Amino acid sequence: MFYETDPLLSLGSPSPHPENKVGPGTNPDGTGFVFLVGAGPGDPDLLTVKALRAIRTADAIVHDHLVASEILTLARPDAEIHFVGKKGGGFCTPQQATEELLLRLAKAGRTVVRLKGGDPFMFGRGGEEAQALAAAGVPFAVVPGVTSALAAAAYAGIPLTHRAHASSVVFLTGHEDPHKPGAAIRWEDYARLGATLCVYMGMKNLDCIAERLQAGGLDPDTPAAVIQSATTAGHRQLLSTLRRLPTDVHRAGFSAPAIIVIGEVAALARDLSWLGEAATAHHTHQPAPA
């Protein structure tokens, strides 16, 4: 499926009257259109202009747990709102059910926004949903969002690359059980890259991740940080070392959602954290003495 022009350009102004509606939802066969949209890291002000346009024109919004409630208020008053949340240890909508919902709404002629925290193609299962739509012949487009690792690091004062410290960045998911036989991620291999490591969904397995990186040769004193609820009113950050990070995180009561940053650049947060004393004094934690 290839579009010579941006599908959003044909949407026009939102209207509650179907007879006035223009855009992808008016395909000859009556099939609607699905936008896979990144909602960004949490702060509604970091939503892209294109994402905002898609949300305001959608007949239906299908959203995840981490999408800010303020963003949902941007939808049309008559838009259908469907929650398909996934939260570790709690309610989880099966992925197949989410894909079936998108197909059902689109085949009913709706313009659908599938709204995901961060970026839809960065650990958001957007690729799986795009495959399901393509296989069913449902037209779709992708609207990128600011992924959580980039925003968390920026708000914490951590440049993920720096000519003096890191020339590469790796994005990893820490959700997979590191002890699982045949695990996809060999943490020991990433210990030898000399890259900044950004770990999504890694809080549950932090102890094992830190242990395996050290077993692979990464210096235990490598700077490491955790940023919780980045860019939101609940933003907190902790700077430590790889060896101390699991203990310090536990003592400070940090939890998901959080991004873990491991590498020399993490230490720059001491000088580059820019949120201001009033915003950071109560949530920036220094490691306990070894």
Per-residue pLDDT band at 89 (split at 50, 70, 90): low
The catalytically annotated residue of 86, 107, 204, 207 is 86
Look at residue 285 and tell me whether its pLDDT is greater than 70. no
From the list 21, 43, 59, 64, the catalytic residue is 64
Report angle CA 213, 182, 256 to the nearest 5 degrees. 55
CA distance 209 to 179: 10
Q: State what percent of residues in the chain have pLDDT above 70.
A: 84
pLDDT per residue over 4-52, tens digit each?
A: 556 665 554 444 433 334 345 557 788 999 999 999 999 999 999 999 9
Superfamily of domain covering 7-143? Tetrapyrrole methylase, N-terminal domain (3.40.1010.10)
- 1 has pLDDT over 70: no
| The pLDDT of residue 219 is above 80 | yes
Q: What is the pTM of this model?
A: 0.86
Judged by DSSP in three states, 189 sits in helix
Looking at residue 23, its pLDDT comes to 46
Q: What is the pLDDT of residue 178?
A: 72
Q: What pLDDT is stored for residue 290 in this prediction?
A: 46
Please state which of the ranges 2-16, 69-83, 143-157, 172-186 shows the lowest mean pLDDT. 2-16
pLDDT more than 90, % of the chain: 77
Pairwise pLDDT comparison (63 vs 279), residue with the higher score: 63
Q: How far is CA 3 from CA 103, 140, 206, in A?
A: 20, 10, 43
**Amino acid 8: pLDDT:** 66
CA distance 155 to 162: 16
Q: Is 64 a catalytic residue?
A: yes
Sign of the alpha-carbon torsion through 35, 148, 201, 280? negative
What's the whole-number mean pLDDT along residues 159-180?
Answer: 91
- Given a cut of 60, whether residue 80 has pLDDT beyond it is yes
Query: Which of 2-11, 76-85, 144-153 is least confident?
Result: 2-11
Distance CA 81, CA 55 (A): 11
Q: Where are the beta strands (DSSP E) in the chain?
A: 33-38, 60-63, 80-83, 111-116, 140-143, 169-173, 196-200, 223-228, 236-241, 258-262, 284-285
When the candidates are 3.30.1490.100, 3.50.50.100, 3.30.950.10, 3.40.630.30, the CATH number that belongs to 148-285 is 3.30.950.10
Look at residue 4 in the predicted model and tell me its pLDDT: 53
Q: What is the mean pLDDT of residues 167-171?
A: 98
Average of per-residue pLDDT across 178-194: 87
Residue 204 designated active-site: no
The confidence score (pLDDT) of residue 12 equals: 46
State residue 210's pLDDT score: 98
Domain ranges of the chain: 7-143, 148-285
Q: What is the pLDDT of residue 280?
A: 47
Taking only the tens place, the pLDDT of each residue in 98-122 is: 999 999 999 999 999 999 999 999 9
